[in-house]
Structure 1
């Protein structure tokens, strides 16, 4: 069974101070020790999850030329479709064995950001696809807001510290399709070992084996969530901000055993990004003699740009 701890967000939102404190301690400990947690009590309904999976399976089942018409040049894959094998992990040449779609932010009351972010792409063949994607995006963003409020309290910050930075943030919802494997992959896996760029990632579809997390001993352990849970992990931005107090853990999606090569895998991560101006300079209360400052000063926007170049998604 998964070695990743489980927590329940309704403890935090219950209005009961004892339960709230319990949640803060549990998620803080998990993110300091392994960087991953399985979370129930989120804001996604079962019906919404089922609808989203139905829509994305229909999309990835469309003819390749139809999908290719939604691959938008010049935006680093930030919106719409990215075809099979295009993305690779930092430091690797082999493309991951996946294709994916990106839903981005639905900006409210900020014309400047609205002009900066690329527009979401409408799939005309599937009339419900975009509405269901937007609703899922909003519910995951709401879940992430409360998780970050708990982490702010764990870090002795004001509870709403992150709120202003994540409102209209550059977050991405990424439905991924790992197609059936038809021949022995040459050095390629479904998603090579990597750390996430963002503040936190909320992952739908971590049921069954495939996702693995590297523990502090350098061992790969399976990360498996129940069907009603999201898998949540710390990204590199939050790790930098907290001077590695909260751990951004290396993880991968391995190829299934040969008898399951004929099956597709779907997973849907939500990458919670702040606005570009957010400072990622190490928090003063996370730096001391025992833990000297480990990262150079930067902003979320600068850090994201640097990493997208490393991933091969944008050119220098």
Structure 2
């Protein structure tokens, strides 16, 4: 990480620490996670130069900036990131970028409403995108920041944000209707790590992760045995792997449950810390959320 920071500082010096626009005159915007990239794209559209650092299947908890990322960050006018220590390996880089406008979406939220954690450095669960209302607030925040940076495009950013917020509200209604088809006693979500607590709080699911909030923590034998007992006791039908987390831990959990005479299936792979492939429905925030809920409900019925 120290080497990365040194490269970053050197790159700043070469570029003169200026917020250089590309030849098309648009501001350079850099985002970290694919969820944030999708959000900013919906607001900024063709009026910004947008580059995302993390693609499909990338775990932001463990992500380290490459030299190519350093160049992108050094040439950025605005950097949008999640904050709340989600991008653990990049936080120190952002703190060194005093001349850059770094925007953490988590900083805009009322901390008293966030889910706390005694086991994570920030004391807050960083997976805020699984609360649609938080994503609506983040949409408004991004539109505000972009409007301040490019005042003549404010009407466009405002309109784009209003259109996207309407889509997010419709998404929330649609998800609620789908979840209502699942009996309340079946609403137990077991996944690889604690990424879905905001989802659980919003849609009345009991959520249990094999690993903690950060995937930097490893699940041990005792964790597997404890969770397997919980699955059997609550007659959980399905457990889920995650696209950005190795599936071996969930496969070990399934084996532990089945060895005790209780059959549990792997209900599918959920998108947790990253969207699906670009160009697919799951490569968008709305498509990802719809896919996740349909997968969960179909497996637990």
* TM-score (structure 2 length as normaliser): 0.29
Q: Which of structures 1 and 2 has the bigger CA Rg?
A: 2
Structure with the larger RCO, 1 or 2 (CA within 8 Å, 6+ apart): 1
TM-score between the two structures when normalised by the length of structure 1: 0.28
The structure whose residues are more often helix, as a share, is 2
